A = this chain, B = another copy of it.
């Protein structure tokens, strides 16, 4: 029986591509996303056409009980060895006055609260089996709050601390928690593409993308695979990923009155 990998947030970017990678690696992959059944089915078919094993679920993870039910159902097939948590809270940059209460709350529910619930649902079995892995797709907003990022940064920052608390409790029970900071633009039509609009995104793909200046989800997936299979004597909790041509978030370009 194949080990099970559950991808929460299997869009066409990181989530779906990590799903494919784990399928190629021999996992039975359970893909969940909120909408676009057609895209989800296509993703499942692509995996199966390569000889892989996958199933897709449309769920609204924010809905009470939804993620718990998905995890329960998935576990019935076999123990979940890897959870790829790929939900974000990015709604674009907007001033405080233009960030509604609903948006702020939704960001937290989606990015932070769903992880808490997913962990509560999945941990008992993982602990019982003495092994498991959570790969959490994070972003720069978990490390610093930029202007206009109130909802997203609050959600990401909270989730990073949650990951640390989860690791502090469950690492020594054999569960590998990894918080992966994606620090740069990802070649992902469903997320970045939607936010930028198709023309801008196509242009970005042509220019930055043409010289590997966009994070390639397939390359990200290779690192996810590596981290998930690190031997337990040498686990990584946190790592960053960015294109070679991108300055890390902590840097800025030299200036005359540089903060130095």
Contacts and interface: CB of A to CB of B under 8 A. Distances in A.
Interface stretch (A2-10, A27-35, A52-60, A161-169): A161-169
A260 B93 contact: yes
Interface in A73-109: 90, 93, 95-97, 99, 101, 104-105, 108
A165 B147 contact: yes
Contacts of A241: 234-236
Tally of this chain's copies? 4
Interface residues of A, number: 101
Contacts of A140: 259-260
B139 A259 contact: yes
Interface in A36-62: none
A185 interface: yes
A219 B231 contact: yes
Q: 7 tightest CB-CB pairs across the interface, nearest first? A: A158-B158, A157-B161, A145-B164, A145-B165, A239-B239, A153-B161, A147-B168
Interface of A: 90, 93, 95-97, 99, 101, 104-105, 108, 112-113, 116-117, 119-120, 123-124, 139-150, 152-172, 174, 176, 183-185, 192, 196, 200, 204, 208, 212-216, 219-220, 222-223, 226, 230-254, 256-260
14 contacts: A96-B119, A147-B165, A147-B253, A149-B254, A149-B260, A150-B162, A153-B164, A184-B259, A212-B233, A216-B233, A219-B231, A233-B243, A234-B241, A238-B240
